[in-house]
């Protein structure tokens, strides 16, 4: 193998490792965000908000690594497609981290522990999103186009559950005006989780592009 090829492979491998590290951190932050909601853990919520810059730094490192490798190695075809896709994926992961921080920020606005009725809906949505993120990162790591497509297809389930949960919350707000503020905060959290599902779908599209060279819309 030529030295330039070995160097390109090494730099690409480093970028892939950073992406996987970023996915791990983002997954942990989502889990913590759901925990601070269910337990009304304001201390954990503050830690999540304060620690959001860690994900931002990882994003910038991936972006810088991709740009440097493209400039220095001048990759073509599949290598160039791979590096450009990595920048897109890192940006989507950074945005997912923002949504998790948003959830933590909303928890800090609760005056008291949310009603137990709110936990199930948020928990169901959150569990699916966490599973989707784990699966799409596995698809990325293995270059598994079918797993990426299957993962994106689960976003329909999130959309359906969110609509049902929103309807329940609105009904609760009409029947129990005292719960108006708490239910409104929970609506925001449900929307943030739904948006995480959309971002995971965007990552799945990038994985399909990396493996097949085809641009697809999996969010239909």
Domains of the chain: 3-212 (1.20.58.220)
For residue 52, with 0-12 CB atoms within 10 Å meaning exposed, 13-18 middle and 19 or more buried, which class applies? middle
Within 10 Å of residue 66's Cβ, how many Cβ atoms?
Answer: 25
| Residue 1 pLDDT level (bands cut at 50, 70, 90) | low
pTM of the complete model: 0.93
The answer to whether residues 55 and 26 touch, using CB atoms and an 8 Å cutoff, is yes
Angle between helical axes of 77-107 and 52-73 (0-180°, round to 10): 170
Q: How far is the C-alpha of 30 from the C-alpha of 38, rounded, in Å?
A: 13
Would you state the pLDDT for residue 48? 94
* Chain segment 76-127, per-residue pLDDT in tens: 788 899 999 999 999 999 999 999 999 999 999 887 677 777 888 899 999 9
| Residue 6 pLDDT level (bands cut at 50, 70, 90) | confident
């Amino acid at each position: 193998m030529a030295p330039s090829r070995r160097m390109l492979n090494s730099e690409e491998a480093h970028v892939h490792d950073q992406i996987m590290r970023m996915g791990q951190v983002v997954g942990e932050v989502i889990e913590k965000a759901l925990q601070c909601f269910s337990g009304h853990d304001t201390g954990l919520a503050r830690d999540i908000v304060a620690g959001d810059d860690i994900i931002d730094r990882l994003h910038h490192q991936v972006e810088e690594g991709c740009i440097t490798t493209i400039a220095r190695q001048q990759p073509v075809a599949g290598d160039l497609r791979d590096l450009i896709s990595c920048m897109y994926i890192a940006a989507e992961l950074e945005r997912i981290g923002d949504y998790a921080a948003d959830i933590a920020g909303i928890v800090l606005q609760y005056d008291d522990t949310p009603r137990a009725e709110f936990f199930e809906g948020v928990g169901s949505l959150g569990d699916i999103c966490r599973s989707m993120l784990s699966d799409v990162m596995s698809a990325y790591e293995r270059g598994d186009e079918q797993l990426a497509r299957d993962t994106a297809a689960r976003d329909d389930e999130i959309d359906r559950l969110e609509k049902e949960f929103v309807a329940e919350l609105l009904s609760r707000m009409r029947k129990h005006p005292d719960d108006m503020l708490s239910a409104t905060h929970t609506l925001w959290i449900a929307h943030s989780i739904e948006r995480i599902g959309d971002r995971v779908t965007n990552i799945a599209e990038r994985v399909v592009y990396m493996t097949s060279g085809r641009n697809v819309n999996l969010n239909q």
